[in-house]
Structure 1
């Protein structure tokens, strides 16, 4: 396939998968339960943090987190005390109740003292673009006392992690294409800056299409892929996540 044919295929698949029918199969359905900005961004962060493994399990445990928070994420975070951790039992693969307690406390600090999640992602002084924003968020989270084990749940692109789950979260919060899947509730970050949530499906399809040569799914590979996708759409290149993921996960391309 030449570049024109690849672009036509990807554009077609974006239209097929970037639709409200997609919501019911994806963890994004959980933040779609809410209408308040803070409820959406908090629930979306927590669900995206556990978004690895079986999709049904992710959705099940995402809903369990919402139950723990009484389906009022923002109010719960503002009033949270670690004493409440004794009342819930939570495990999703390697993410457990210790990690969840840390996330609750760190989010409380972010909302009470740092202006909220959008504010900590807006800052990116240390590194340019999405990498800087993710590092800023990570630093804000880790400013809260925590056990060392919890750090593995906060990807660090400065150490070459592709930061799949955080990039997915940013796509949810920033993209505003009126299709009803991504929320587009953050105006302080341009869509052109977003990075695709690189995983096995998107990476394999990208390689088959000649859009990615690097074998590892790391931040360097992500930059290579995004450079090619920006040639197809420089304003909203991360929309092609729908196409690459759909081709791999659903079409078995």
Structure 2
């Protein structure tokens, strides 16, 4: 009896496996790409087809899940969101994508998968629809960099030791802009202490950074050793600004 029951269960599982693979979902189009500003909306007509030999009546849930990306499901709405379709037939839906106000610029993507179920069949989800939404920057204008302090501007004495130059200032972004990059560079006339770093912006765009420099110049270098210090910023629209100052290790202090 147990042996017969095991054979029956095995045959039933095999039949179920075949029935599950008998139908699959196909999508048109296979990909959707839109450019939608923050606060705006886009829409596209989508066709979902249950393909296969099973003549069952399928219950279609158009948006089963979003995978493989950062596109928020809350941006998407479908009309209708579900329907019934006979085996092998198609259903069309209107896909609306609304980008909330204040959304940061960038590309948001994901893959929409649907689900189709019948009494004795569950269709394979298929490849889905790849959706990519580009949110353009609404930023315009040019940022402003202010260097309030650079100390010391003259490094003395030239004792071959290491010291720090401390710079501080503010970055002001135009209305509606965000800082994509903020940093500094130091160019050493001797090519030894050159480098690039980032600065962290505090309240009101304030920043402060300590840059290592060498308190040394060659004895024959009559105008001294020069370090060019630059602060630079860039917003999400790609517009940037910079400000440069010079720090000197003089040959001597006779001219000062």
TM over 0.5: no
| Larger Rg over CA atoms | 2
TM-score range, shorter chain: under 0.3
- Higher strand residue share: 2
Q: How does the TM-score come out when normalised to structure 1? A: 0.21
Q: How does the TM-score come out when normalised to structure 2? A: 0.21
- Higher helix residue share: 1
